[in-house]
Amino acid sequence: MHRISIVRRVEGGKEPAFSVASKLVTDDQLPAQLSRAHEIADGADVVLVPAPLARTTPKIVVMDVDSTFIEDEVIDLLAAEAGAAKKVAKVTEKAMRGELDFEESLRARVKTLKGLPEKVLDDVRAAVTPTGGAAELVSLVQSNGGRVGLVSGGFTQILAPLAEQFGITDYAANTLEISGGKVTGKVEGRVVDAKFKRRFLRQLCEDAGMPVEAAVAIGDGANDALMVQEAGLGIAFCPKPALAEVADATVSVRRLDAVWAAVTGRMN
C-alpha cells in the first residue's frame, strides 16, 4: 500500500495553517489515484508516501536546521553582528541554490566573523526562532517511538543548546574555532556538507536498526540534496529550486507538522 496526501494551506489566520486529505492505495490503484490527486490539488502539495512508510508512523526523521528547523540562517545573523551582513547573505543565497561549493563558501563566510566576541554566539542562539510546528513534529515522532536527528551546515555552538531544548540527542554541525574569547574566523575539523549529511542519515538509521527506506529527510537547500535523495521519503520544505527538483515531494506550507500530516494522514 502507498499513501497519497494532499496538504492544503488554510488562509485567514495570522499563523500558517493547513489541512490534509489522505488515502491508502494499492499498486494497481496508484497511477490513476495519483493523477486524480494532482488534478484536484489546485496548487496544494501532493505527497506520495511509499509503501515502507505508508501504514506506520516515521521512526527516523532527519532535518536540516537553518531555514528548515529554524526560521533563520545563523551565519547571516552572525555576519550582521560582524558588520558583514550584505556580503555574507549574497554568498549564502548562492550556496543554497547550489551555485557555489558549500565548503568553500562556508569557510569564506566564517572568515568574515573573525574577532567576533564569543558572547555574541549566545545572543544569536537566544534570537533564533524555531519554525512553526517544529515542537509538534518532534513530540509526535518521539511519542510514537521514533528518533529525530538534526544535521546542520551551521554551528554546534548554536545547535547544541537548541537540540537539548527539544530533547534531541542526535545532531551534528560545524564548530566555530574560538581563541581568547573570540571567533578566529576558522572552522574546527570537518565541514558538514551534503555528503556528511547523507552519512549522518545512514548512521542514524544503522544505530536505530532501521533501513534508510524507512526514514524521512527534510531540507530546503542544495546542501540537503544527497540526504533527501537517500531517505525513503525526501521532503523539500519551502525549498530552493535546486532541492525541489530532486526531492520526492514538496511541502510549501511553512509548518513542520504538515510533514507529519502528509506522511501519516493524521493531524496528531
Q: Which of 19, 61, 69, 34 is nearest to 266 (CA)?
A: 19
Active-site position among 64, 72, 248, 257: 64
Cell of 171: 545532531
Active site (annotated) includes residue 248: no
The reply to whether 66 belongs to the active site is yes
Catalytic residue among 27, 42, 45, 66: 66
SS3 69: coil
Phi, psi of 152 (to 5 degrees): -135, 140
* Among 234, 256, 253, CA closest to 245: 234
Q: In sequence order, which residues have a C-beta less than 8 Å from that of residue 195 and are 6 or more positions away?
A: 226
* Gap between the Cα atoms of 55 and 88, Å rounded: 44
d(CA 121, CA 67): 18
Instruction: Give the Cα-Cα-Cα angle 133, 139, 143 (nearest 5 degrees).
Output: 150
CA angle 249, 254, 259 (to 5 degrees): 45
Residues with a catalytic annotation lie at 64, 66
